[in-house]
Every structure is written in C-alpha cells, then in structure tokens.
Amino acid sequence: MDKTQPGSKSKPFHLTTLFKQENQNSERKQVTYRIPALIYISDNQTFLAFAEKRKTADDTDADVLVMRKGIWQDEVVEWNSGHELLTSACQPNRRSMNPCPVYERDSKTLFLFFITVPVGVSEHKQIHKNENQAQLCYITSKDTGKTWSHITDLTADVIGEQVKDWATFAVGPGHGIQMKSGRLIIPAYVYPCHPLNCKPTSRAFAFYSDNKGSTWHVGKLMDGESCECQMAEIIDDKGNSTLYCNARSTSGHRVEALSKSDGEHFDKLSSEHKLTETEHGCQGSVLSFAPDQAPENTWLLYCHPTNPSKRTCLGVYLNKTPLDASGWEDHKLIIHIGPSGYSDLAQCGDGKHVACLMECGEISYVEGIAFALFKLGDIIQAKGAE
C-alpha cells in the first residue's frame, strides 16, 4: 500500500500519487486523470479520492469516474493498491464528469454527485447552441464506497422546465458539505441561455436538500459572473451560520459571496478582490474549520495555484475573519511548487491535519493527481515560510 505522512512548512511536502497518466502506445494516446474530489468519513477514518478517467487530457475524452480509498491512522494514510472504476456512475453513450461527494451524517449515506454528457459533446458546443445536454446524477454508498447504488438521474425532477433556459451546467467539482442544520449543499454553476452573438456568462448557485437527500431544490443564481465553485459554512462567535461561496472567474480575481439563507440565494458579490485568479481561471477549494485558538468560530482555508499567469505553485491561504473578504492573509503555505491545477481539501479526523488532493506534475499539471497532508499549525504559522 502507498503511505502518506504529513509534511511541514520547513520542508517540501511528501506527495503520494494516486492517479498517474498512462501511455497507450498502441493508440498513441495518454489515459489522463483529472478533476480531483476528496472526502474524509470519520466514522471509520477513511479518505475517498475521486477523479475522472479520460482517454486523453481533453474534456471531451472524459470517460468514467474512478476512486481510491485510504485509511487514516496514527498520522499516516495507507492507500489501497490501484483504483476502482465506478461503473454504476455510468449511462449508455454518455461520459461521467465533475465528481462531487457529500456525506449525510445521520443516515450515514455517502452521495456522489456528478454530471453525464453525451460522448463527443463539448461544453462549448452546448453553450454555442444554447442547448443543454448535461444530466444531474448521483450514486450512494452506505458502506464507505465498498458498494454503490444504481444511478439516480435528478434532471427532470429537480431542474425541470428551467433546464430549457440553461445552455449547460455542472456541479462542483470537489466536495459538497452538510451544514450544522443538516442541510446538504452541492455547489454548482450554470451557463444561462444567451442571445446570439452575446458572450455567455456563467453563474454559480447551490443544489440543496433538507431531508437527508430524499428531495433536492435549486437555489437562485448569483448576480454576476461566477463559475466552478466550492462552498463552506461559517459559524460566528454567537453560533450564527453563513454559507460562503468561492468561485472561479475570468475577471482576474476570485469571486466571493455570502448567503444568509443557507444557499437559497446569495448576497451581492464581494467588492474585495484580494484573491487573485490564475490565467483564464482555475478551480479552487475552500474548507472551514474550528481552530484551537478560537474554537467557537470557524476560519477558512483556500487552495489554488498562486501564480497569476499560469497554473503552477499550489498554495493554501488562511482567513481568520471569513465574513470579511479582506481578511485573507498575504502569506500562504506552498504545497507544490511545480505545475498545479485543480485541488480539493478535506479535514482529517483528529482536527489538526488537512489533506489536499491535487492535479500536479513536473512539466504539466495533467501528469497525475497526488495526495498531501499538512498540519493546520503549518498554515497558521506560515508567515515568512514561503
């Protein structure tokens, strides 16, 4: 089994490669793994790492979702050998994309949300034609990924007629959350249909459920451009809850917004632009946690490539006052200094460690997907350690 141990701010982080690009010499193609999603289930100290298995690196060559399982014990994660194909997350002649897991704690049910799209149909083609062909789907597991249910397609029941107004949509990618109230949140984004010859604009929103995933609803779209996103629950010192969204954009900065209605709608986008976006945009991950220094509050972590011009140098930022978007600290903890792309964060069972599943490589960020551990103390004390 592969083993992963936590790193520290004073030395390079140990990365355990879970999915690696594979040469297919007969066809001169490289099977590529992209779009990481990570979840930790404390009931049995298990990490589940998900990704898309693609025939090439291209989005239109996505094929099937894959999973690896790791057990956390004594500050070490032991990973099973090889990955599993999630064949139950498949529909005929369609590709499965954008894994987005969430765990319902009362029923102990793991939901894995994703979209399916017809083989060969690109996001660009759907947007160009104003014709959505994506489907909203999930599978569930009650035994931490040992077995999975049949696929459930929610498109007609949840999105319904308004799908006619959507050019295309997707979930996440990366983890969803369950709020203190029990509400399940699946982050998502949509390209609403647009007048011909007009530039389409993506908008983030949330799917949510208040009955342990039995039925789902569509939240209102955010005002202004916002694309791939993740969400986190912020608890203040009075116990009040606010849902935070951090989204990709093409504006040169990250989009941040707050919801006092637990994702049914979001307030106007933050005017603070402290988090720089990378190149034409890149997915990023957010995670809330209760620090030892202020256990009645939650702080926020944000993971993203730190280079503003290209996808490289993956770093983690900290905000100790997460209701204020100006509170992001300038220093960050660098996890991987080379090419880096999409990522997903999860907190470990002891509350003192955080895991990151990331696209990374030496020459290109599509070379593989790796797992790293770091201590919360590393990011809290990261000033001057870049």
**Residue spans of beta strands (DSSP E) within 91-183:** 94-104, 109-118, 135-141, 152-153, 166-171, 177-178
Q: What percent of the chain lies above the pLDDT cut of 90?
A: 81
Q: Which of 277, 359, 367, 378 is catalytic?
A: 359
Task: Indicate the pLDDT class of residue 3, thresholds 50, 70 and 90.
Answer: low
pTM of the model: 0.94
- Where helices occur in 78-160 by DSSP H, the ranges are 123-129
**For the chain, what is the mean pLDDT?**
92
CB-side neighbour CA atoms (13 Å) of 207:
29
Question: CA angle 148-40-344, nearest 5°?
Answer: 100
Taking Cα atoms as reference points, which of 274, 230, 203, 277 lies closest to residue 113?
230
Q: Which of 59, 78, 210, 236 is catalytic?
A: 59
> Does 384 score more than 60 pLDDT?
no
Q: What pLDDT sits at residue 106?
A: 96
On whether the CB atoms of residues 163 and 132 are closer than 8 A, the answer is yes
Q: What pLDDT sits at residue 262?
A: 96
Is 359 assigned a catalytic role?
yes
CA gap 304, 283 in Å, rounded: 7
Find the mean pLDDT for residues 365-374: 95
Q: What pLDDT sits at residue 12?
A: 62
Q: What pLDDT sits at residue 294?
A: 74
Find the mean pLDDT for residues 336-347: 96
User: Cβ-count burial of 222 within 10 angstroms (0-12 exposed, 13-18 middle, 19+ buried)?
Assistant: buried
Q: Which of 103, 244, 317, 342 is catalytic?
A: 342
> Does 7 score more than 60 pLDDT?
no
pLDDT tens, residue by residue, 117-145 = 999 999 999 999 999 999 999 999 999 99
* 173 cis-preceded (ω within 30 degrees of 0): yes
Task: Indicate the pLDDT class of residue 385, thresholds 50, 70 and 90.
Answer: very low
pLDDT tens, residue by residue, 230-259 = 999 999 989 999 999 999 999 999 999 999
